[in-house]
Amino acid sequence: MSYMSGMMMGLAFGQGVRRLLTGGAAKKEVPAFALARSIPGRRRYYVKALVGNEALASAVEQALSKLDCIDEVRANPVSGSLLLIYRGDESKIDAVARRLAARVFSAPAAEEKTDMSSTPTPFEEAADGLAAFGKHIHGTFSSINRHMKIATGGWFDLPSILSLVFTVRGLQKVLVTKQLPTGPQLLWWAFSILRGWRFA
């Protein structure tokens, strides 16, 4: 791996970590849940909740791949895209999309008329579990970040502490152990995280 490719990987990793820890939005605004493209047997949605959330993307892929009508699922936590490759009746995919919008990604589902008092299907139970898991992760990071700000009098939060650790470790690798390119990579990650730091 060349020095420049290492720096670019460090930048991408640093931005992903910053988005994960701060809840920062990607540069391109991703809708809560929207159909981007549709051809028979293939649909692509854009989902805001997937951006920067690899755990949710993986959980969505696993849950949806268990459905009989879906052949392949690809959830991308970088772009927020959700690709469904399916076969058969499109009304089943419409129902899946409405359930995802309403129960997993908390977007208003268009024209959904369902009897909510009926017994939940396995998919509905999986969707409820995914939604709870995503909220739990977000709440945990928010709580840790809030407690850290209070404990340090507003001087530090999770992104700043992570950036400080990368800076110290990177300087140690560059100045003391002369390890290249790992030292500058850590410094680049620290810079990438701090670049998005908002004073609030």
What's the per-residue H, E or C state across the chain?
CCHHHHHHHHHHHHHHHHHHHHCCCCCCCCCCEEEEEEECCEEEEEEHHHCCCHHHHHHHHHHHHCCCCEEEEEEECCCCEEEEEECCCHHHHHHHHHHHHHHHCCCCCCCCCCCCCCCCCHHHHHHHHHHHHHHHHHHHHHHHHHHHHHHCCCCCCHHHHHHHHHHHHHHHHHHHCCCCCHHHHHHHHHHHHHHCCCCC
Q: What residues does each domain of the chain span?
A: 3-25+152-195, 33-128
Report how far residue 46's alpha carbon sits from residue 6's, in angstroms, rounded to the nearest whole number: 29
pLDDT value at 189 more than 80: no
Report how far residue 107's alpha carbon sits from residue 20's, in angstroms, rounded to the nearest whole number: 21
Question: What pairs with residue 35 in β-bridges?
Answer: 45
Report how far residue 86's alpha carbon sits from residue 40's, in angstroms, rounded to the nearest whole number: 9
33-128: what fold? Alpha-Beta Plaits (3.30.70)
Predicted pLDDT at 148: 81
> Looking up tokens 């931005």, which residue turns up?
15
Residue 125: other Cβ atoms inside 10 A: 13
**Cβ 42 vs Cβ 33: under 8 Å:** no
pLDDT value at 104 more than 70: yes
Q: Establish whether the linkage from the previous residue to 122 is cis, with ω within 30° of 0.
A: no
Name every residue whose Cβ is closer than 8 Å to that of residue 187 and which is 6 or more positions away in sequence.
166, 167, 170, 171, 174
pLDDT digit string, tens, across residues 27-54:
456 677 888 888 888 999 888 888 888 8
How far is C-alpha 17 from the chain's CA centre? 10
Predicted pLDDT at 8: 67
pLDDT digit string, tens, across residues 132-163:
777 777 778 778 878 888 888 888 787 778 77
pTM: 0.40
Report how far residue 50's alpha carbon sits from residue 167's, in angstroms, rounded to the nearest whole number: 29
7 vs 163 pLDDT, higher one? 163
Question: Tokens standing for 162?
Answer: 């992570």
**Cβ 128 vs Cβ 103: under 8 Å:** yes
